[in-house]
Structure 1
Amino acid sequence: MMLNTYVPNAFRRYAIAGLVMAIVTPLAAIATEVLAGASMAHAGYVFLTSPFGMAAIAAPLGMVLLVAGLGYRHDRLARQIRSERAATEQLRQAAYHDGLTGLRNRHALGEDVGRILRCRSGQAEHTALLLFDLDRFKYINDTMGHAAGDLVLKVLAERMQAYCQAGQRVYRLGGDEFVLLWENAPGIKTISSFCDGLSAFVFRPVESPAGKIDTGGSIGFAITDEQVGSLSDLLKRADLALYHTKEKPGVKHSFFTHEMESSHRRRQQMEANMRHGLATGAFHLDYQPVVKISTLSVSGFSVRLRWAHPEDGDLAQEVFLPVAEASGLILPLGKWMLERAFEDASGWIDKADLTLPVAAVQLRDPGFAGFVISALEKSGFEPGRLVLDVESNAARREAAIVLANLEQLRGHGVKISVSELAASIAGLSMVRDFPVDRVRLDLGKIRKLAGKTRVVQMLTLFLQLASTVETAVILTGVDSEDDLKCACDAGAEQVQGSFAGVRLCALQVSRFSTSFRETAQPTPVEAPALFKSA
């Protein structure tokens, strides 16, 4: 035991032990001769020259070599075992931890959740899973570089860990997704309050060599119950809550409810039906006339998408386009819509504009402008007659790509308009993210804002502002004779709505175009009836 303490190397210990045996053995033999009556010198000489003496010396020396060899082998095995243990620990660290932030990863989360679910003893104890998703992370990577994105992830991970309490652990799932697992979680209200504090603490600006980087994020959380049997079940619920959070402007966190699951199934079914409808030709385009009040002539058409649903009949675009945008189906659907509209309009009134709605998702496609220009050239449709109705927040995400697409399109002669009331006012006041050629004001929204008695005055104000900045205005929502009178009193030049002209299919517009060329211009009394569906 003392030898282990003072000589920790096994090889040296074995060598010393063998050497001691080599020295002690002949001395013991000589001592035995001396005790038997022989002199010291004679006893030593007799012993060394005798076969036994020579064997007594050789055997311990051989023992020294043997024991030293065993010690060397033992020491080498010990070093190898320590090396393998260190390598195993490194592999375990890599398997259970994220390389960038040092947080535990998805594999570790799966084991921890599995352990918790196996050990749960009753309904009184619940575990909450909070799923985080960062806002604008792709934009940070694209505009400031991946080094800045990595810095943001590491700083936010440190803040999450610093905010954690007893029973809470933070994980990184990958990309910009994080999870906080909370064992023995309290009620929903307490968790909601915790999310408020966590968001305020974590999502603060991050200092970087390029300056401050603003951060933000959304949280969806779910709690275990008897129906949750795996990490997959719990993550799915938290993900649905996170999706709900992102759908609601101003909401930073949401708790999972079973209504979200039902809504998700309906969305999935609608997505499947839309994919099938796109493949089988179930989508159609309608064209609503835009009428110039001074001549009661058609100045253009606004394109509306219609879906002939197999069970629910014709559905307006407001019903299914949000699902198409969220699922990415708007990309193939939007391309089909553009190509079909150009094909339909190629033989219509020569100077009539064609206004098509464009989703922000489409503008975030780097090849969108190129596709539109190619489709225009292929169809022969004049670029100056095309008006793309863009969402007001189109440039909020991936602004560089969106603005590049819009700039390329406007450089080719395509016009840009906005329809949302606040964006339209911003367009008129020249406070905008991107250039606007025209705005579309909704008469119904203006009436709600101003009231029936002051709607003409407010509309007049908007129209005067538009005239000052030389921006064309189309007044939509003109659905009655009173609406038309209001538009005329305010001085509107172009109107759109069911009273000015109902929606027409491509064939009806083609017939109208032909009859318009062959007949004289109608009187004002005949105008509303002119655009009624045949």
Structure 2
Amino acid sequence: MGRTRFAGLDKGKQRVRASVWDALTFDLRHPETIDDENLATQRVAMFDLAPALIGATHMLWGLACIFMHPEVMVLPLSVSPLLPLALALGLDLLAFLALRLRDRLNLPPRVMARLLCGYIGVGGALWMAYGAALGATPHDNSLAIGLAFGAGLGAATIISIASPPVTIVNALVALFGTLLIAPTTELLAGVAFLAAINVAYSIASAQTVIANSMERLKLDAQARKALHFVDEFENSGRGWFWETNSLGTLSYVSQQLADDFKLTPQELLGRQFTDLLSVDSGSADSLRGDRTLGFHLSARFPFSEVIVRAASDEDVHWSLSGNPVFDERGRFLGFRGIGTDLTEQRRSEQEISRLARFDSLTGLPNRALMRQTLDEALRNATNRRKGCSLFLIDLDRFKNVNDTLGHPIGDALLRQVGERLKSVMGNHGQIGRLGGDEFKAVLPGTVETGLLESLARTLIEQVSRPYSIEGHRVTIGASVGIAIGDPGRSCADSLIRNADLALYAAKAAGRGKHCFYEASMHSEAADRQLLENDLRQALDRGEMWVAFQPIVRVASEEISGFEALVRWNHPTRGAVSPDKFISVAEECGMIGKIGEYVLRTAVAEAARWPDNVRIAVNLSPIQFNDPNIVDTVAAVLAEYDLIPSRLELEITEGVFLADSDMTDSTFARLKSLGVRLALDDFGTGYSSLGYLKKAPFDKIKIDQSFVRGAASTTRRNGAIIRAIVTLAESLGMDTTAEGVETHDDLYLIRELGVSQVQGYIFGKPLPAAETKELANSTRVEADGFQCIREPRHRLMRRAIASIGGQPCEIRLRNISAMGALVECSQAVTPGTTMTIDIVGVGPVVGLVRWAHAGKFGVQFDEQFDLGRLAPKQKRSNETTMLQPWYVTKAS
């Protein structure tokens, strides 16, 4: 109330009076604040029954006057007192209806107050007219007039006393009526005095009522605001309120507290507050909290953030704070406080703790927990004098799955891998995930190399089994590095480093393998790192070049094409074998850049050859799965104007390990360019016939491991080659035999129906300058040995043989897998079968083929393993590895 002036007590005490001006004008003026409007509405509501009271007064005394003087009923209407009486009653009815319907009629409080002033004035005038009409009748009506006048003025005074403006109007009506009906000085003075008293009383009363009402409205507003804050606080879920009486029973509870017990707040009221607490808390913290709370409640001491457990079916924990409440005389009234539900917070803390120690994707222990496990295993190993082993596991070709099928498929694959690793490891050790596609296994107390090797092989076998994920058939592999820690001598860092070096060696050995740590691996790892650093700069330095090896048609011995092979001339290492640097290029991400260089160089060179000579270029699985590979091939063909059918892309089975729609799409797009596709190294991988059914290959390349020495009668290579040729012919594909070096093998290849030959017998890989002349030649002559001479062990070995029924010492030289040269002092007859016991190796059975001058040649009945002649050495992947010193000592 902007202009309201309160006359009250000192600051901080209740204000009790408003100004006179406010009392006189409050009901009639426009409200300035919402509180003014609310108070004005309340004051108008006091008059809701005023018209009824006045109307009843008018009717009662009107009927009484008529009863006393019935003759007024026959008077003419113009002079009859019934007319003002009827008008007054009608006005009373209109005023009553206006008050009842003010909200529907949208009448503001100030308008209603002004209408009430008019109603009192007009109603009083009509009532005075009624009295004047009675006085005009021919009978003595002084008593009736006095009663009517007094009744009307009294009723109006009763209902108008609450509002000074209405009281003033009523006083004016009384003075005017007195002057009209009985204008004596004494009566006028008396009425004026009473009117002044009424007005003064009304003003004083209004001052107090308005001031107190405004204070009450402010308090109500603050109370509503406080309740609003309470509701917001409780509804936010951050806490709730509770209150007890002096006996400890609940007198107020929040809805959230009742929800914990699946009850309503009313059902909890009257219960002891301690009944809500569990007396058999599961944790020591909760038990101490219950005791602490009980002490404070009994001692009537304030308490803050006491953790207790709720007596509910669920695991609910609260944090309670409370203060004792006393009245002004110091009497204890109870406790009032606030509570917070810690259940979700504790669950979140537990989840955060779990996530800090476990991998969120697989649920396996993470790097931090695995390090803790390894530290504890090594400490235990020191105390118990029992070793500890560590596996580092890396998934092969996992990145290819992520790149081709997407990370959701990769995540699902990791979860399945984790389950398989847990199944294999069982109770032998703890398996965990380090991140990405790396896993770790700690095996406390397990140091037997035989068991470790068996676990590693089983682990690799299980991980390498195909996976079915959302309709995709996914195949990956695993490499394992193993390190064994000696009790009291190994630390976690050194063991991890050793296992990492072993893993590196396993991957370098061709993946899908396991290796035990050896001291020599440190230098090998350092050398490999140097090789990787040099490889990153090899292209820019011009150290790489492309060689071309001829591919010849078997039937006509004409040049069919060339295969482009990358070579690296290192400035200090010399020629680095592709078998050594290609795997490094794939790991360090250089294979794409090197592959594009080979493709561009090969196509540029092939453009200078005759149109009937093709060029074959290898695509690694990483290159094939590059989304831009088709665009790259198309751009290179267009740049050098090479007919697409002259380009043959050789692809290994590795591209099918993540069998997906993207793989099929890449095949289809490459074929749409018009290039030829060849399946390289067929027979060395999974050799799934499904690959040949799905992929549009034009050629199968038979791996050299089946071709070299195929003419030997002791091998089954010929049968395998025959089966591959028959399969290819049935599918309308060409075949190329790789690694042909001897005439015997070439003859067999020709007899088996192989389409093309590639090998040293027709030429080694040549520089580009020497290739053009060969490409223009009509025929290539085969040049090589007739057959492959078996490898021979040239050191002499002593042996014992039975000759003529007598044991005889002999010496073996030039030992091969098929036979040996024997020096013997006794004569031996060709065709004799004998058993020869080689010292330190064991017996072999052979047939004497020739004998001359103290020597004879023996042919073994079965192929002899030359490895049996080598001295026994410690090998990383053999179960015969030496046991650690402490195992030997313990046994």
Matching residue of 2:408: 146
Given that residues 420 and 462 in structure 2 are in contact (C-alpha distance below 8 angstroms), is that contact kept between their aligned partners in structure 1?
no
Contact 1:443 1:475 in 2 (8 A): yes
Native 8 Å contact 1:132 1:177 kept in 2: yes
C-alpha distance 266-140 of structure 1, shift in aligned 2 (>3 A): closer
> Is 1:184 matched up with 2:445?
yes
Superposed CA deviations along residues 260-297 of structure 1, whole A, max 9, x for unmatched, are 44433332222222222122110111122334466664
Shift of 1:334: 0.7
Cα distance in 2, alignment partners of residues 272 and 194 from structure 1: 35
> Offset at 1:388?
1.3
Matched, 1:500 2:762: yes
Counterpart of 1:298 (choices 549, 559, 563) is 559
CA distance in 2, matches of 1:193, 1:175: 25
Map of 2:369 onto structure 1: 108
- Residue number in structure 2 paired with 1:435: 696
Residue type at the aligned position of 2:499:
A
Deviates more, 1:420-429 or 1:251-260: 420-429
1:503 is matched by which residue type in structure 2? Answer: P
For 1:206 and 1:344, how far apart are their aligned partners in 2?
Answer: 43
Alignment of 1:160-309 (within 5 A): 160=422, 164-165=426-427, 168-193=429-454, 219-225=480-486, 228-231=490-493, 233-245=494-506, 253-292=514-553, 297-309=558-570
Structure 1 residues 246, 119: CA separation in 2 closer, same or farther (over 3 Å shift)? Answer: same
Indicate how the Cα distance of structure 1 residues 297 and 273 shifts in structure 2: closer, same or farther if over 3 A, else same: same
Asked if 2 retains the 8 angstrom alpha-carbon contact of 1:153 and 1:176, the reply is no
Distance 2:472 2:639 in 1: 46
2:658 aligned with 1:397: yes
For 1:457 and 1:15, locate their aligned partners in 2 and report how far apart those are by CA, in whole Å: 94
SS for the counterpart of 2:657 is coil
Distance across 2 between alignment mates of 1:242 and 1:194: 15
CA contact (8 A) 2:389 2:484 kept: yes
Is the 2:478–2:511 Cα contact (8 Å) retained in structure 1? no
CA drift of 1:505 comes to: 1.9
Which of these residues, 676, 695, 703, is aligned with residue 415 of structure 1? 676
Structure 1 residue 358, shift from structure 2 partner = 2.2
The SS at the match of 1:351 is coil
Aligned length: 472
CA contact (8 A) 1:356 1:389 kept: yes
Counterpart for residue 618 of structure 2: 357
1:83-125 Cα distance to aligned partner (Å, 9 max, x none) = 9877655543332233344443212233443455577647933
Q: In the alignment, does 2:771 pair up with 1:509?
A: yes
Which amino acid counterpart does residue 768 of structure 2 have in structure 1? A
Distance 2:708 2:726 in 1: 17
**Corresponding residue for 1:335?**
596
The 5-angstrom pairing of residues 30-45 of structure 1 reads none
* Structure 1: segments with no counterpart, 5+ residues: 20-56, 530-534
Shift of 1:308: 0.7
2:671 partner SS: helix
Alpha-carbon shift at residue 15 of structure 1 (Å): 6.3
Q: Which amino acid aligns with 1:473?
A: T
1:377 aligned residue (622, 638, 655):
638
**Secondary structure of the equivalent of 2:385?**
coil
Q: Is the 8 A contact 1:424 1:439 kept in 2?
A: no
1:381, distance to aligned residue in structure 2 (A): 1.7
- What do residues 448-484 of structure 1 show as CA deviations (whole Å, max 9, x unaligned)? 3452699999878866765554433344445456666
Shifted more, 179-188 versus 248-257: the winner is 248-257
* d(CA) in 2 for partners of 1:444, 1:208: 34
SS at match of 2:683: helix
Q: Which residue of 2 aligns with 1:451?
A: 712
Change (3 A) 1:354 1:164: closer
Q: 1:412 to 1:427 in 2, by over 3 A?
A: farther
Deviation at 1:402, TM superposition (A): 3.6
Distance 2:744 2:406 in 1: 54
Change in 2 beyond 3 A, CA 1:196/1:5: farther
| Larger CA deviation: 399-408 vs 249-258 | 249-258
**1:508 aligns to what SS in structure 2?**
helix
Quote the Cα distance in structure 1 between the aligned partners of 2:455 and 2:755.
54
d(CA) in 2 for partners of 1:431, 1:219: 31
- Structure-1 separation of matches of 2:456 and 2:658: 25
Q: Which amino acid aligns with 1:472?
A: D
- Greater Cα shift, 193-202 or 237-246: 193-202
Q: Which residue of 1 aligns with 2:354?
A: 93
In 2: Cα distance, 1:373 partner to 1:59 partner: 98
2:623 maps to amino acid: Q
Q: Distance in 1 between matches of 2:782 and 2:292?
A: 105
**C-alpha separation in 2, matches of 1:460 and 1:199:** 32
Give the SS at the match of 1:235: helix
Contact 1:161–1:169, Cα closer than 8 Å, also in 2: no
Q: Considering fraction of residues, name the structure with more helix.
A: 1
- Decide whether the 8 Å contact of 1:443 with 1:477 is kept in 2: yes
Contact in 1 for aligned 2:475/2:658 (Cα 8 Å): no
Deviations 1:345-398 (A, max 9, x none): 222223310011222232232322222122212222221100112224431235
Cα distance change of structure 1 residues 434 and 179 upon mapping to structure 2, 3 Å threshold:
same
Write out per-residue CA displacement over residues 32-91 of structure 1, whole angstroms, 9 at most, x where no aligned residue.
Answer: xxxxxxxxxxxxxxxxxxxxxxxxx96643xx48x958xx5xx76xx6999987765554
* 2:699 is the alignment partner of 1:472: no
Alpha-carbon separation, structure 2, partners of 1:197 and 1:426: 22
Q: Greater shift after overlay, 277-286 or 360-369?
A: 360-369
The CA deviation string for residues 320-365 of structure 1, in whole angstroms up to 9 with x for no partner, is: 3233334432221111111111222222223310011222232232
Higher relative CO (Cα under 8 Å, sequence separation at least 6) belongs to: 1
Structure 1 residues 351 and 450, CA gap change in structure 2 (3 angstroms): closer
Secondary structure of the residue aligned to 1:258 is coil
Contact 2:396 2:511 survives alignment (8 Å) = no
Q: For residue 381 of structure 1, give the secondary structure of its aligned residue in structure 2.
A: coil
Using a 3 Å threshold, how does the CA distance of structure 1 residues 86 and 500 change in structure 2: closer, same or farther?
A: closer
Identity of aligned residues (%): 25
CA pair 405-121 structure 1, distance change in 2 beyond 3 A: same
For the Cα contact (< 8 Å) 1:421–1:445, is it kept in 2? no
Paired residue type of 1:397:
A
TM-score of the superposed pair, with normalisation by structure 2: 0.44
Cα distance in 1 for partners of 2:348, 2:300 equals: 34
**CA positional deviation for 1:437:** 0.8
Distance 1:271 1:471, change over 3 A: same
Q: Is the 8 A contact 2:421 2:431 kept in 1?
A: no
Structure 1 residue 13: Cα displacement: 6.3
SS of structure 2 residue aligned to 1:301: strand
Stretch deviating more after TM superposition (300-309 or 240-249): 240-249
Please provide the CA RMSD for this pair. Answer: 5.1
Q: Which piece of structure 1 moves more, 351-360 or 361-370?
A: 361-370
Q: Deviation digits for residues 286-324 of structure 1, max 9, x if unmatched?
A: 122334466664332221221112223233434432333
- CA contact under 8 A between 1:305 and 1:316: conserved in structure 2? no
**Which string of whole-angstrom CA distances, capped at 9 and with x for unpartnered residues, describes residues 202-239 of structure 1?**
999999997999997554432334775444x4334334
